[in-house]
Structure 1
């Protein structure tokens, strides 16, 4: 090798080394381009319109679900996968592009995937080489799978009419809480125009939401894709509207937003509130019913005990050998027994086991006759206002029960007023239907006479209102009340198939409203005087049936004093045997209502079979349903409540015999 050739050899080596470095840089660049293409999720195609030669990167086949060794790989096989509706459009776009190669080739069409689904592909290309004669020899471009975006566009277009005319509010909300778009219903719900709301954000219609809360809601939407919750939106007029919101996260043109369906749930919330109120009323009613059963049972036993006290006190007082000092003591015992009896009557009224005889009366007339007595109850410092209804206010009611209702309510109102004040009594005819009942679901449909007693006194808090009808509950000082006044009112109203409500605010007074079913039956005169007549003697035979020995002894002694022949029996079976032995000489049976093995009504029927025409007088601490329905006596039933005085018993016996 000569010396002259050595420099050329070194030059060649350097050139080879440079080419190797360039090749490495090119390979690195190609690798980076490949990674970039894969990361960008698009593919590259290369097409020669002169020869039809076509090449695609592997992503093309994967977009359509084909393997690398499967077709399509040529222009012809690709056109075979084109949607028939898009074929003509694609041909026209390509022809136009070849005529104007300086423009950008842009195609959007559908191709059938391996599993038969149609995929939307967007393709953009550009001329990269031409022949010397100007013919295009190479076009290169990129393609994207835009199926999801295209379907969303189609959904948005096809649902545009539904969006605008939907009966539910629909919002499109940006991540920063801006309102991008709303439908007509959403704007109507809040009292705005669509144009006004497009310049607003959620913070304008939901003043209770903070930036932190909105960020938390948006993050939850990002994590879950959908979310549902309740909020309160503010109408243009300042009123609140409870809403239920269901949101879904969507993305369009690279922007994330929420589609929110907003339903006005004012009606549902009102119904839920009313349902909760009714549930509380049901629980209160159940509680009162349970207490009523207990009170009725206690009253029955207590009245029997009081009957023995009253009876023996009277017998002792009738004894001529008792001196004046003992007489005074006995009078005190008798007075205390009858005061206790009044408390028991109040318990019975609450338990709806009080004995009543309803008649048709005009409640306005009855109240008018009570005004003088009510004025005396409240004193001079309190003004009593009476506002009667102009129409007739007829009800079927025991007159004494109106006295009890008004006396208790007026005394309560008086105690709630510190110093001077006003008590208002008002009546009104009410037809419960439509809107009136929607606001008072606890009322049954029908015609009622509403009696209200209102005061401007100290009022009550919600907790007190929950307990005011409980027996023995009182807010008064010890010794100022028994706690039975409002319980009595409650029992009377329920006993007469009525309803009552109370509204009260601290320092703004209280209003009680009582609804009694109205009647159109003619008025009946109120019987009077007969109970005050002096009892007369008789010579008839009376069969007395009582399982309490003390009461039996007292009744036997009293009736004996009035000239009756008395036959006693401690059990119903013993009474039947007495009747069988003495028939038909027994004129009247005086029987307890509640007894072991057989009640008083069953006994009277058995005795009627033995002695046809025998008269019957019932006595009891409370009236069981065998002779009365919720304390309302059946027609023609003779009854006397325990405890009773001797003269009262003698009068009742005489009336029963003479009936």
Structure 2
């Protein structure tokens, strides 16, 4: 009975073992299925002997068949990327020497098609010998190529985001700044961490809640938008920006990616371009007015010459009574005042006749201080601040008088009651950096003459017109509007520049720049011959196409004792010279005439009568004898209108050499 029971128990035990084996085999199949579906490559490595085994999935993930490569450690080493071999060998050696809980490495293996696959290897110690040495390691290989590429792409994208040369923002629908790159933060003077806790309202105060909602609505409708704004930096300064935004969505949440470019330089360039365009238009307008003024002055001076000279001749006639003499004097005075206005127009038009000489502007102004103080009156303090250096320039001395007289009158009229006017000189160097804001200046060494007042000052609109002829802010009868126009013309005629600065209630400063010279100062002969010595007996040929001027010039010179030959046209004058057998000492000719100008006539007559002297006369200096009003070397010139003594004196001066 006992034997039967034992046999029965044994059979039950066998049956249980068979059931457990089936269960284990089934579980093993499930594990194999799980491993196969997980695409894991199982490896088994014995460090002491070098024996290795790799599962079919291990070879399959690299594109190989099960029996295509031997399952050895050498196979693993041969497939390993050359750049990874040294690091992997060292890591395995360190792990075997000092085992840890988990063995974990990343490396590249070459697939059958030649691609490099990224592998993540994880393993554990499976057995050790009595000495504690690792005798067996087992683990799995994961193919992480796609994940690694994604990590690289994400890393590259983040690097590009952080180091982009343009500001990039990620903005939520409620205007919160979700993310920002380094450039954007640097542009505004913040750190990236500071800005991640801010909103658009912090950097763009003008974008109120309602405005932002409208902007978001437009962005939501179009998908993208572009516009310009002004952002505020951390230090409070403003930065104009150009923004390009695009609406994106992640995990159902919309956000805006905005590319923000600092356009400060562009805006400054646009302002500079606008300013230069305005300066160009102003210069063109002034040039046009100058041409018009010069043309009017030429004709008007011819008329004034006849009036002034005839009035002078009439007053010298003993037959004219005292009562008529008084009326003639009024006519002459009015004509002379008109002549002064025309002279100012010519100065503005840069057609005023000048003969520049080298002078020290400090010495010249010092001699004028008494006259200038009388001009501005006792209630205004005049301060003279000359630079101790030499201030030599090439200027016509009479133009210094005109400049300072006009500037002082302008300063006086700007001061209500008491005040101060300061005249100052300096030597300055105009370089390229200085020209960035004043492009009409030319590089070089200049003498700067400054006249400042503590008067009422001017607004910008007034400053833009102060050099226009006949423009004035003074009351009726208080000015002609030609004072500053004269200053402008004189400075430009002498290749100089003007800079004006003014503020309402703070006064005005005029800075006049003239090219400096190191040539020694010339002595100026200011002596005037007495009228009694202005007669002569020489023969003078007068050529003038205006009959009135021709007649009065002939009368004046005849009155002074000269023998006069008169011609109304250049051709007639040439014929007279060719047919005359007598000596002709002087040619007095107009400059601007039809058919042949004065210079051409003088050359023609010089060929016929070598050594004949020549005196040009004109209402303004034409280009044939002058460059922008500056007389060419050796040219004798008489400006119209002229008085009897002026013509007589100039003729005598030329004849006497």
Tell me by how many angstroms 1:253 deviates: 3.2
Q: Partner of 1:26 in structure 2?
A: none
Any conservation in 1 of the 2:447–2:515 contact (CA below 8 Å)? yes
Deviation at 1:531, TM superposition (A): 5.9
Residue in structure 2 matched with residue 388 of structure 1 by the alignment? 386
Instruction: Find the partner of 1:409 among 407, 410, 427.
Output: 407
Taking a change above 3 Å as real, the CA distance of residues 535 and 249 of structure 1, as seen in their structure-2 partners, is farther
1:172 matched residue in structure 2 = 170
Identify which of 568, 571, 592 aligns with 1:570. 568
Name the structure 2 match of 1:632: 630
Deviates more, 1:172-181 or 1:429-438: 429-438
Q: Which residue of 2 aligns with 1:105?
A: none
Preserved CA contact (<8 Å) 1:583 1:611:
no
Post-superposition Cα deviations, 1:513-536, rounded to whole Å, max 9, x if no partner, equal 222222222222222114666543
Write the mapping of 1:44-443 to structure 2, written as runs, cut at 5 A: 157-443=155-441
Alpha-carbon shift at residue 313 of structure 1 (Å): 0.9
CA distance in 2, matches of 1:554, 1:503: 48
2:583 paired residue number: 585
Structure 1 residue matching 2:525: 3-state secondary structure: coil
The answer to whether structure 1 residue 560 and structure 2 residue 562 are counterparts is no
Q: Alpha carbons of 1:520 and 1:245: their partners in 2 closer, same or farther (altered >3 Å)?
A: farther
Quote the Cα distance in structure 2 between the aligned partners of 1:347 and 1:260: 59
State how far apart, in whole Å, the 1-side matches of 2:154 and 2:367 are: 76
| Match in the other structure for 2:463 | 465
> 1:205-243 deviations in whole A, cap 9, x for unaligned?
111221222222222222333322221111111111122
Q: CA deviation at 1:158?
A: 1.9
The answer on whether the counterparts of 1:593 and 1:618 sit within 8 Å (CA) in structure 2 is: yes
Q: How many residues align?
A: 528
CA distance in 2, matches of 1:198, 1:446: 52
3-state DSSP class of the match of 2:352? coil
Structure 2 unaligned regions, length at least 5: 1-31, 38-56, 66-145
* Separation of aligned partners in 1, 2:271 and 2:225: 25
Q: Is the 8 A contact 1:175 1:256 kept in 2?
A: yes
TM-score by length of structure 1 reads: 0.76
Q: Shift of residue 390 of structure 1?
A: 2.9
**1:598-609 to 2 correspondence within 5 Å?**
598-609=596-607
Looking at structure 2, the residues matched to 324 and 658 of structure 1 have their Cα atoms a distance apart, in angstroms, of 36
Task: Say which SS state the counterpart of residue 561 (structure 2) adopts.
Answer: coil
In the aligned structure 1, how far is the partner of 2:438 from the partner of 2:508? Answer: 18
SS in 2 for 1:195: helix
* Structural mapping, 1:496-575, within 5 Å: 496-530=494-528, 534-575=532-573
* CA shift in 2, pair 1:153/1:530, >3 Å: farther
Deviation at 1:155, TM superposition (A): 5.9
- Worse overlay, 489-498 or 212-221: 212-221
Shift, 1:166, TM fit: 2.7
Alpha carbons of structure 1 residues 642 and 458: separation in structure 2 relative to 1, 3 Å: same
**How far apart are 1:591 and its partner, in Å?**
0.3
Residue by residue over 1:461-518, the C-alpha shift from the partner in whole angstroms, topping out at 9 and shown as x without a partner, is 2222222111111111111111110110111111111121222222221222222222
Q: What corresponds to 1:658 in structure 2?
A: 656
Structure 1 residues 542 and 185: CA distance shift in structure 2, 3 A: same
Question: What is aligned with 1:143?
Answer: none
**Matched position secondary structure for 2:439:** coil
Q: Distance in 2 between matches of 1:467 and 1:156?
A: 62
1:65-118: CA deviation from partner (whole Å, max 9, x where unpaired): xxxxxxxxxxxxxx9xx9989x9xxxxxxxxxxxxxxxxxxxxxxxxxxxxxxx
Q: Could you tell me which residue of structure 2 aligns to residue 18 of structure 1?
A: none
Deviation at 1:394, TM superposition (A): 1.8
Equivalent position SS for 1:159: helix
Query: Cα–Cα, structure 1 residues 569 and 224, in superposed 2: closer, same or farther, change >3 Å?
Result: same
Shift in Å, 1:168: 2.4
Structure 2 distance, partners of 1:533, 1:84, is: 121
Give me the CA root mean square deviation: 2.9
Q: Provide the C-alpha distance between the structure 1 equivalents of 2:324 and 2:435, rounded to a whole number of angstroms.
A: 62
1:629–1:532 Cα change, 3 Å: farther
**C-alpha deviation, 1:165, in angstroms:** 2.4
How far off is 1:618 after superposition? Answer: 0.4
| Equivalent residue number for residue 139 of structure 2 | none
- C-alpha separation in 2, matches of 1:457 and 1:432: 29
SS at 1:522 equivalent? coil
SS of the residue corresponding to residue 172 of structure 1 reads strand
Q: Contact 2:184/2:260 (CA < 8 Å) preserved in 1?
A: yes
| Offset at residue 289 of structure 1 (A) | 0.6
- The answer to whether the Cα contact below 8 Å between 2:531 and 2:645 also exists between their aligned partners in 1 is no
Match of 2:594, SS state, is coil
1:584–1:611 contact (8 Å) kept in structure 2: no
* Post-superposition CA distance 1:393-451 (Å, at most 9, x none): 22111111121111111111111111111112222222122432223233222222222
Q: Among 590, 611, 615, which residue is 1:617 paired with?
A: 615
Shift of 1:283: 0.7
1:185 CA drift (Å) = 2.1
Distance (Å, rounded) in 2 between the aligned partners of 1:470 and 1:152:
71
Task: Say which SS state the counterpart of residue 384 (structure 2) adopts.
Answer: strand
Classify the secondary structure of the residue corresponding to 1:526: coil
- Please give the secondary structure, in 1, of the residue aligned with 2:404: helix
* Deviation digits for residues 35-76 of structure 1 (CA, Å, limit 9, x no counterpart): xxxxxxxxxxxxxx98xxx9xxxxxxxxxxxxxxxxxxxxxx
Offset of residue 566 of structure 1 = 0.4
* Structure 1: distance between partners of 2:198 and 2:395: 62
Q: Cα 1:240–1:152, aligned 2, differ >3 Å: closer, same or farther?
A: farther
Offset at 1:187?
A: 1.7
3-state SS, counterpart of residue 246 of structure 2: strand
Q: Is the 8 A contact 2:227 2:244 kept in 1?
A: yes
